[in-house]
Amino acid sequence: MIYLDNAATTRPLEGAVGKAAKYLKEEYFNPSARYHGGAEVSRMLARARSFLLERIADPALFELEFTSCGTEADNQAIFSAARRGNAVASAGEHAAVFESFKSLKSRGIEPRFAPVKADGSVDADALVELVDDKTTLVAVVHVNNETGAVNDIAAIAKRVKQKNPRTVFLSDGVQAFGKLPVRLTKDIDFYSVSAHKIGGLKGTGALIRRKACTAFAPYIIGGGQENGMRSGTENTFGIACFYHAAEEKFASLREDGERLRSYRERLWELLDHDIFMRISPENGTPYILTVSAKGLRGEILQRDLWDNGVAVGTGSACSSKKPFSRVIEACGYDEAALYGVLRMSFSPATTEEETEKAAQIINACARRRI
């Protein structure tokens, strides 16, 4: 199986799982327990927390709380910060942000969505235009999970803060963390990340928060774990896996990025350009290549490819109501292109040989269906 659906989830890294295994089998103690075993686990959490945080932000200015997933981190930030007035997001947000914004309406907060360009990146001018003195929250995804376009969140956050310094700025960094070099600036208040996109486990995420940002209301209340911001006994094994997976990823982040960028371009070069149209921008993340097979159905092609040994993603699941991706639609593509979306996404484990073989199989399957 050639696995090119790493933006959906990645295979857990064996090394990371191996190193973390002792927190599953031997040191299964509750980190809040006041005996030695508990203290040891609690120390591991502290190491993991500072390692993950320091990779992308200044620990003097930011802190990190573990959550159960990226979606929880996004929700936590959104429902803490959007308290009144209006909230602005890009039309290219992941559902974790987009649907949360839509639901703000029922709380009397007006959601506003800024258009995206053809590559999926937000139209920053239009976004800033939507911000006014009643805006309490702005959210811009760091890497668009469907097209791979990268938003310059530092610049956008700066412009937003210039217009309204009281606005809270959130960026969903799930597709960027551990893949792109990131440094959070003081204009960014919240940044959400997830473990299973970088070789950790599903069920582990984190929210990074600027300490000076006071807009924070925990919604899982209980034993006061995570500084009272997110109660519930910590997923110690998951967090240990996250920690060790990140160690591995960050050690070769730049080299991996360069190598995968060349694979991404190689894959595009080998795909049949009479069938496939490119959606992903060249200056996007090296980890994602999204194309459309005009006139074909991405979902059907996807199952066909699985049967032929290649796992890829599509624009979105096919449901009878709206069988194509909201995000790609927002990029302005016509229906024929929307139906045919395929997303190939890489991990550092992807090889050049796999990339080339996948291209052949994708071409063959698509040609058969024409």
Partner 1 sequence: MEKVVIIRYAEIHLKGKNRGYFERVFSVNLEKSLKGIRHELRRMSGRYLVAAFDEADAEEIESRVARVFGVHSYSLGYLTESDMDSILAAAKLVCPAQGSFKVDTHRGDKKYPLTSMQLNAEVGAKLIEAYPALTVDVHTPQHYVYLDIRDGGKALVFGTFEEGANGMPVGTSGKGLLLISGGIDSPVAGYMMAKRGMNVEYLHFHSYPYTNEQAKDKVVELARILSRYAGGNTLMTVSVTHIQEEIHKNCAAELNVTLLRRFMFRIAERIAKRAGAQCLITGESLGQVASQTIEGMTSSNAVVTLPVLRPLVGFDKEEIIVRAKKIGTFETSVLPYEDCCTVFLPEFPAIKPKLSFIEEEEGKLDIDGLVREAVGTLEKITL
Residues forming contacts to partner 1 in the complex (CB under 8 A) are 297, 299-300, 303-304, 307, 317-321, 323
Which residue type does 285 have?
T
Of the two residues 307 and 353, which places its CB atom closer to partner 1 in the complex? Answer: 307
End-to-end CA distance of the chain: 24
CB of 34 to partner 1, least distance (A): 38
Task: Determine how β-strand 110-114 pairs with β-strand 86-90.
Answer: parallel
Residue 142 has, within 13 A of its CA and on its CB side, a CA count of 24
Torsion of CA 349, 46, 220, 203, to 10 degrees: 20
The Cα–Cα gap between 150 and 315 comes to 18
CB of 301 to partner 1, least distance (A): 8
Q: To 5 degrees, how large is the angle CA 245–CA 250–CA 253?
A: 120
Of the two residues 226 and 299, which places its CB atom closer to partner 1 in the complex? Answer: 299
Helices 236-251 and 36-56, packing angle to 10 deg: 40
Of the two residues 172 and 299, which places its CB atom closer to partner 1 in the complex? Answer: 299
Of the two residues 106 and 320, which places its CB atom closer to partner 1 in the complex? Answer: 320
> How many CB atoms sit inside 10 A of residue 251's CB?
9
> How many CB atoms sit inside 10 A of residue 118's CB?
14
Of the two residues 84 and 303, which places its CB atom closer to partner 1 in the complex? Answer: 303
CB of 118 to partner 1, least distance (A): 27
CB of 319 to partner 1, least distance (A): 4
CB of 344 to partner 1, least distance (A): 18
Which residue type does 358 have?
A
Assess contact for 190 and 170: CB atoms under 8 A: yes
CB of 303 to partner 1, least distance (A): 4
Residue 125 has, within 13 A of its CA and on its CB side, a CA count of 1
- Which of 69, 213, 241, 318 is an active site residue? 318
Of the two residues 104 and 275, which places its CB atom closer to partner 1 in the complex? Answer: 275
- Quick check: is 318 catalytic? yes
> How many CB atoms sit inside 10 A of residue 226's CB?
21
Of the two residues 232 and 323, which places its CB atom closer to partner 1 in the complex? Answer: 323
The Cα–Cα gap between 94 and 86 comes to 19
The Cα–Cα gap between 343 and 159 comes to 32
- Residue 272: beta bridge partners? none
Burial class (CB in 10 A: 0-12, 13-18, 19+), 16: buried
CB of 342 to partner 1, least distance (A): 14
Cβ-based neighbours of 285, under 8 Å, separated by 6 or more: 143, 148, 149, 150, 175, 176, 179, 180
Residues annotated as part of the active site: 318
